[in-house]
Amino acid sequence: MAKSDAEVKVLGTWASPFVMRVRIALNIKSVAYEFLQERLWEGKSELLLKSNPVHRKVPVLIHGDDTICESLIIVQYIDEVWPSAPILPSDPHERATARFWAAYLDDKWFPSLRAIGMAEGEDVRKAAIGQVEEGLMLLEEAFGKCSQGQAFFGKDQIGYLDITFGCFLGWLRVTEKMSGIKLLNEINTPALLKWANRFCNDAAVKDLMPETEKLAEFAKMLRGRVRATPTS
Amino acid sequence: MAESNVKVLGTWASPFVMRVKIALHLKSVRYEDVEEDLLAPKSELLLKSNPVYKKIPVFFHAHNPICESLIILQYIDEVWTTSASTILPSDPYERSQSRFWAAYVDDKFFPALRRLVIGATEEDKKAALAEVVEGTVVLEGAFGELSKGKAFFGGDNIGFVDIALGSLLGWIEVIGKQCETKLVSEAKTPRLVQWADCFSAHEAVKDVLPDVDKLADFGLKLRAKILKALAPTN
């Protein structure tokens, strides 16, 4: 049996943007998989702890006897095992650019988005919003360069950077709703605003993008639990 | 003579820059070495070619700048494919394992090492030391899995994880001396100790290994600069 025919499982949660990346990648490749829902607020499952002992986080991809962790590493793995409908560009320089912005999103941009929701004090909140907006302007410019006039960062199809960034749209919309600020807007990020709609309507994405209302409720519940947890 | 338009903007002391140079040596690619002085204000070239992070290394190939050392390594591996040396393995699962452990070095191990240097209190440093030592034990385990009995994480030859971790060995030694501890110890991580010797002696590595005393001296100056930048202003 070819490796690509072995059973595929995804361990994750509906609310996690990182898990969504993996599921979109599998959808793009038309690969069937079993989704194992973790209930993280009830404690981590045996399977999670066993398959990701280093980080104990979702997503985890289980492919036959192999487990792969870290969403962007999983997406690249999926792209390499199932080479049809490529996710990463073929040109090495374009690949490096896609990887650069994906790392920026994970290491700088998303933490600053989360910081808005967790900010205690108006000054801290304003600073966090400023950082997110600054990041979005950089990404607007990157979109112009990567898309070369086409619909997506990946040009005519959704690709690595679309998936990396697009999966944060749910949480971006929740943050907009809770802060009352349109972070993606006509004035500063007109191209990204249109791209966001196209991304969410893509066939590989639309059944996976959580509803903003549902996600906002979930965020409130999470925040309640975090605040209730006693700290030493 | 350097291959046309291949340049590395960096410094002798940076492990991240060292990674790029090792990769180029493995691929037998000649390059122009442009030194950035970390103790001076950032150069025009740096600010222009890496406006997002303003950090070294920056790799130039055919006038295009590429930033972030692990991304540069993958780029080099994908461009210079005729070389017998590959940096990432060819099997997708093994590639994912290499990426995972290199990310672990950068996202978990290196930050702990950094906290050990700039930790404000004795307690902070103690906690950071425990994390670093735990990290070495985890990496010892990873070495066992990835090397499959051979000399390197990459097997017979150095690869992605070897370069990611090996480039930190100079600093690990300097920081260890400051803490009066062997951070990579015979007792806890005997395989890593052996691996470190093999890595340091490798053809592609030995000419870019920094002198430990010179690094220690530089480290003191850099630490002072970092602490000054982190100090609260009135």
Task: Give me the domains of chain B, ranges plus CATH numbers.
Answer: 6-79 (3.40.30.10), 92-221 (1.20.1050.10)
pLDDT at residue B234 tops 70 = no
Q: Does B74 touch chain A (CB under 8 A)?
A: yes
Number of alpha helices (DSSP H) and beta strands (DSSP E) in chain A: 10, 4
B96 closest CB neighbour out of A77, A103, A138: A77
A96 closest CB neighbour out of B52, B71, B99: B71
Exposed / middle / buried, residue A104 (Cβ in 10 Å: 0-12, 13-18, 19+): buried
Helical H runs in B181-211? Answer: 190-201
Measured CA to CA, the distance from residue A139 to residue A153 in angstroms comes to: 10
Q: Does A76 touch chain B (CB under 8 A)?
A: yes
The pLDDT value recorded for residue A30 is 97
A54 closest CB neighbour out of B61, B99, B138: B138
The pLDDT value recorded for residue A114 is 93
Residues A77, A61 contacting (CB under 8 angstroms): yes
The pLDDT value recorded for residue A120 is 87
A76-101 per-position pLDDT tens digit: 999 999 999 999 999 999 999 999 99
Q: What domains are defined for chain A?
A: 8-81 (3.40.30.10), 92-222 (1.20.1050.10)
The pLDDT value recorded for residue A221 is 86
Which chain B residue has its CA at the smallest distance from A139's CA?
A: B52
Tokens of B188: 């806890």
Which chain B residue has its CA at the smallest distance from A70's CA?
A: B100
Please list every residue in chain A whose beta carbon sits closer than 8 Å to the beta carbon of residue B66.
93, 96, 100
Q: Do A68 and B64 touch (CB under 8 A)?
A: no
Query: How distant is the Cα of B78 from the closest Cα of chain A, in angstroms?
Result: 6
Which residue of B96, B97, B131, B139 is the best one to mutate when testing the A interface, meaning the one whose CB has the most A CBs within 10 A? B96
Q: Do B95 and A100 touch (CB under 8 A)?
A: no
Helix axes A71-81, B92-104, angle to 10 degrees: 160
pLDDT at residue A232 tops 70 = no
Q: Do B95 and A76 touch (CB under 8 A)?
A: yes
A202-213 per-position pLDDT tens digit: 999 999 999 999
Tokens of B130: 């425990």
Q: Percent of chain B at pLDDT above 90?
A: 85
Q: Does A34 touch chain B (CB under 8 A)?
A: no
Which chain B residue has its CA at the smallest distance from A71's CA?
A: B100
> What's the rounded mean pLDDT across residues B45-49?
96
Interface contacts (A, B; CB < 8 Å) = 53
> What's the rounded mean pLDDT across residues A115-133?
92
> What's the rounded mean pLDDT across residues B142-161?
97
Which chain A residue has its CA at the smallest distance from B135's CA?
A: A54
Residues A34, A10 contacting (CB under 8 angstroms): yes
pLDDT at residue B203 tops 80 = yes
Q: Do A54 and B74 touch (CB under 8 A)?
A: no
A77 closest CB neighbour out of B64, B72, B92: B92
B52 closest CB neighbour out of A54, A73, A104: A104
More confident residue, B233 or B110: B110
- β A60-63/A66-69 pair status: antiparallel
Q: First and final CA of chain B: distance in angstroms? A: 52
Sign of the C-alpha dihedral computed for residues A88, A9, B89 and B165 taken in this order: positive
- Confidence bin at B1 (pLDDT 50/70/90): very low
Exposed / middle / buried, residue A142 (Cβ in 10 Å: 0-12, 13-18, 19+): buried
Query: How distant is the Cα of B79 from the closest Cα of chain A, in angstroms?
Result: 7
Residues B219, B33 contacting (CB under 8 angstroms): no
Q: Does A99 touch chain B (CB under 8 A)?
A: yes
Q: Do B92 and A81 touch (CB under 8 A)?
A: yes
- Confidence bin at A1 (pLDDT 50/70/90): low
The pLDDT value recorded for residue A228 is 63
Tokens of A98: 């896609």
B-contacting residues in A 108-167 (Cβ below 8 Å): 138
More confident residue, B2 or B199: B199
- Confidence bin at A140 (pLDDT 50/70/90): very high
Query: Across-strand partners of B67?
Result: B58
Which chain B residue has its CA at the smallest distance from A137's CA?
A: B52
- Confidence bin at A230 (pLDDT 50/70/90): low
Query: How distant is the Cα of A158 from the closest Cα of chain B, in angstroms?
Result: 21
